[in-house]
């Protein structure tokens, strides 16, 4: 009986000391110092046009836990509640190098030069490349706004700044290894 008890203690000690056999790689996660998951967007991420008065600045974003085989990233900012029947694409960035671990605040300005080398901003539903902040119709319930980073299996997708969000989305989804998102809300009276 004592030998059995000693063996059981040894097995428990070894199990506690060794990495868990079921533990996989760390999850792919997206975070931001200014966008709180489930919270409200600040005026920094609100458009400065169409009756909205914000700073129209893309937030700082960072990610970690990209899966093995990631060769580039893409980032989108999307409003699924826009009254268009298909939502509204506010920002599309792709061909972000695999060495990048995030984007700086204000990287979405068309001429800010804050994007990592090789990264491209595609055309949004505003008709131009670059970040376009939140600006739901007055009186709507607060819209959901989703920032998503995609880990891609290719070093670059075949798209340019004139490419629509739908074109970029198609190529991103064809090459997606993983994705991570943050959802926040914004509404106006």
Superfamily name with CATH number, domain 27-186: PEBP-like (3.90.280.10)
So where are the chain's domains?
27-186
C-alpha pair distances (Å), 98 with each of 67, 109, 135, 174, 188: 11, 21, 32, 17, 37
* Residue-level pLDDT, tens digit, the chain, 189 residues: 444 343 333 333 333 343 444 566 789 999 999 999 999 999 999 999 999 999 999 999 999 999 999 999 999 999 999 999 999 999 999 999 999 999 999 999 977 789 999 999 999 999 999 999 999 999 999 999 999 999 999 999 999 999 999 999 999 999 999 999 999 999 998
Q: What is the pTM of this model?
A: 0.86
């Amino acid at each position: 009986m004592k030998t059995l008890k000693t063996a059981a203690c040894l097995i428990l000690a070894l199990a506690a000391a060794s990495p868990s056999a079921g533990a996989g790689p760390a999850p792919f996660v997206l975070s931001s110092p200014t966008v709180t998951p489930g919270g409200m967007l600040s005026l920094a991420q609100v458009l400065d046009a169409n009756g909205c008065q914000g700073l129209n600045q893309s937030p700082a974003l960072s990610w970690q836990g990209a899966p093995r085989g990631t060769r580039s990233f893409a980032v989108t900012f999307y409003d699924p509640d826009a009254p268009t029947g298909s939502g509204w694409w506010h920002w599309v960035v792709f061909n972000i190098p695999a060495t990048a671990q995030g984007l700086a605040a204000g990287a979405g300005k068309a001429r800010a030069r804050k994007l990592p080398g090789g990264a491209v901003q595609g055309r949004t539903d505003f008709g131009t490349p670059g970040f376009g902040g939140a600006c739901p119709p007055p009186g709507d319930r607060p819209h959901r706004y989703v920032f998503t980073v995609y880990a891609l299996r290719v070093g670059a997708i075949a798209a340019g700044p004139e490419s629509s969000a739908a074109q970029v989305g198609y190529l991103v989804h064809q090459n997606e290894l993983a994705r991570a998102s943050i959802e926040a809300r914004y509404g106006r009276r």
